[in-house]
Amino acid sequence: MSIQALLGKKIEQSQKFLEDGTRIPVTMLNIAGNEIVQIKTEEKDKYNAAQLGFGVKKNPKPSILGHAKKAGLKTTPSFIQEVRVAKADLETLPKVGDALNAQDVFKPGDIVDVIGISKGKGYAGVVKRHHFRGGPRTHGQSDRERAPGSIGSTTTPGRVYKGKRMAGRMGGERVTIKNLQVVDVADDTLLIKGLIPGGSNSLVLIKKIGGNKKFVPLYKEVSKEEEVSKVSKGEEKKKEVKNAS
């Protein structure tokens, strides 16, 4: 598919095992509910993009409600995000109003970038916010353990530089985690190796970047019924070989 990104909701963080026994951290995302709201073209809008809608808005504004009705959607999406598309891929795009599944875009082994809003930490000092080491604990420095130290630059230029790392509001910013790996894909869920920004039920954008040639799939437990069926199939093949000989 020409669309290389989808919107999702962070469900939970857990751990899984690969077939080679490696234990990895994983994040589960809910992808269900992605729909094409609008397709923008260079002739009409000066650029090519597909507008994705995600979620359900309970009390939408009239402008957003009309936008959803024009696309033929039964519900009004709570989030709308545009994804750039190449001009050559416009012909293969889904139609306006079509729903997208995780399997339409992603497969196990894909490399993705995940964009989200980090958790807000409130007002934080320089040790927590910028990982400063702090001052010494000895030589009478009992009150300087978590202090930033000198912030000036002597007489020239005689002021604090703009952008100086100091205490302030931490978190609540747009964060991009690059080169994460998709380890499993279902109809409405996506399992990504590693951790992503934001809390539970927060919105994220998943962009497909490439693929991993050395991908190791997840270990999946086999039920007793499947084991019995495999054994029976193996015995049937052995009998067929003996009869043929």
Every domain of the chain and the residues it spans: 121-170
Asked if residue 111 lies in contact with residue 209, where contact means CB atoms within 8 angstroms, the answer is yes
Instruction: Return phi, psi of residue 92, to 5°.
Output: -95, 5
Query: What would the two tokens of residue 106 be?
Result: 């992603």
Q: Check residue 143 and give its pLDDT.
A: 87
| Sheet with 99-100, edge to edge strand ranges | 79-84, 49-54, 34-40, 99-100
Query: What would the two tokens of residue 215 be?
Result: 């991908």
Query: What would the two tokens of residue 245 be?
Result: 């000989």
Q: Check residue 140 and give its pLDDT.
A: 87
Asked if residue 53 lies in contact with residue 34, where contact means CB atoms within 8 angstroms, the answer is yes
Spans in the chain with pLDDT lower than 50? none
Q: Check residue 157 and give its pLDDT.
A: 86
Map residue 170 onto helix, strand or coil: strand
Per DSSP, helices labelled H in the chain are 42-45, 62-70, 102-105, 126-130, 224-244
**Whole-prediction pTM value?**
0.82
DSSP characters over 27-89? EEEE-TTEEEEEEE-HHHHSS-EEEEEES--SS--HHHHHHHHHTT-SS--SEEEEEE--GGG
Distance CA 19, CA 35 (A): 34
Q: Check residue 231 and give its pLDDT.
A: 61
Q: Which residue has the tokens 């939408």?
A: 60
Distance CA 120, CA 77 (A): 25
The b-or-e profile of 72-102 (16+ CB within 10 A means b, else e) is ebeebbeebbebebeeeebeebbebbeebeb
